Amino acid sequence: MSELFDLIVIGGGPGGYVAALRASQLGLRVAVVESTHLGGICLNWGCIPTKALLRSSEIHHQLHNLSAFGFSADNIAFDLDKIVGRSRGIARQMGRGIGHLLKKAKVPTYDGFAKLNGRDGEAHRVDVTKDGNAVATLKAPHVILATGARARQLPGLETDGKLIWSAREAMTPKELPKRLLVIGSGAIGVEFASFYRNMGCDVTIAEVADRILIAEDPEISAAARKSFEKQGMKIITGAKVGPLNRGENEVSTTIESATGKVDLTVDRVICAVGIVGNVEDLGLEGTKVQVDRTHIITDEFCRTGETGIYAIGDVAGAPWLAHKASHEGIICVEKIAGRSPEPLHALNVPGCTYSRPQIASVGLSEEKAIAAGHKVRVGRFPFIGNGKAVAMGETEGLVKTVFDAKTGELLGAHMIGAEVTEMIQGYVIARTGELTEAELMETVFPHPTISETMHEATLSAFDGALHI
């Protein structure tokens, strides 16, 4: 069958389904094509299920550190199948919720793979197939590509699903490895390292760069490394990982770095070395859509080089974050609908890592602010000086602010510690609203809260923090 729409969204992840919901709100007739699961990688194999696993591992850690709070417990144990089952159940629940939202918005969804196949006048033709069989031919003047990305495979480090894990196998272990090597120390690698270390595994991180969490401010990166090593993780930076030699139930390799060579044997390896965009088999070769290193080139309103074709989310490049994808979807649809949305400002997009301790940031690091020509004022405030953090037993942490010395503009904010992924939004609002140090210093923060560290870090950059 052939159906005509105002907009076709290819991909039902956090970018695609949000774009479709907003399009429906604006009165556009919209359809979604999804080949696997609504919610995409984020909901099914990323953001949501990993947070469920991390929550379980945090509880495991707390149960083994009760004495500081006046408690004791014997024979503490866990059921790995139930931990994994809870995570998978939450992903299914959220996926059903997205299906319900699309149905409520009267957005039809097509189960299959979509491919651009020329035009009929002003309308792009999209063929949908499933298992080699035709499902439908859809037509619309506007098509949003929201096909996401997948894990990068490097020669010699290819995943096999048994000994060398991708994120999927790492989220569904049948048993915990006693020894684990994590290759890559971005948010994904660090979160898995944190989960498995909290659960009692011997964890080694190998990172090719000279520090972990390379996207973060170097001071925060150093604080994270110190914390992880204190927990017992082994971290090798500037690392060159040799070939992974697979045994029957273990993997051996050699890791070279400035400190020498390390021969390592582990039970499992997790490869978290980046992602590549899903640009294959979309029919792009018949269009003016340009692809650069597996990512589609777009302008500030997500438009590609082909009229009526747009790209959002991971397939459109960095930052590779679900909330960035959702916001791009809204911007894109509002532009299509004739509204006047503001373009996305990448420096106002927060980044979050849900390890223990958590890490969050927005804007420029101190290093990048100086490199951009700013004269800066930097503020810092440690969690140890915050009453709520002390009461919670969460004194490990730091808030760092970077301001323009002349204008008072908040250039960046960088945080490590308990619940900073919830707190960072305060600084995101400040940057979006173009607030200066004056407004932040005059803002009343509730007491006692860990968020008071944000106020103190601002005062530290100017008048001076009060509680240290």
Q: Which residues are catalytic?
A: 447
Closest to 408 (Cα-Cα) out of 367, 454, 439: 439
Alpha-carbon dihedral 403, 404, 405, 409, rounded to 10 degrees: -80
The alpha helices in 313-442, defined as continuous H runs, are 322-336, 366-371, 387-392, 420-432, 437-442
Q: Token pair of 272, please?
A: 């978290």
The alpha helices in 67-217, defined as continuous H runs, are 80-104, 167-171, 187-198
Q: Token pair of 163, please?
A: 């000994």
Neighbours of 383 (CB within 10 A): 23
Q: What angle do CA 463, 464, 467 make, to 5 degrees?
A: 140
Residues 6+ apart with CB under 8 A from 154: 271, 273
Closest to 278 (Cα-Cα) out of 325, 346, 343: 325
Residues 6+ apart with CB under 8 A from 65: none
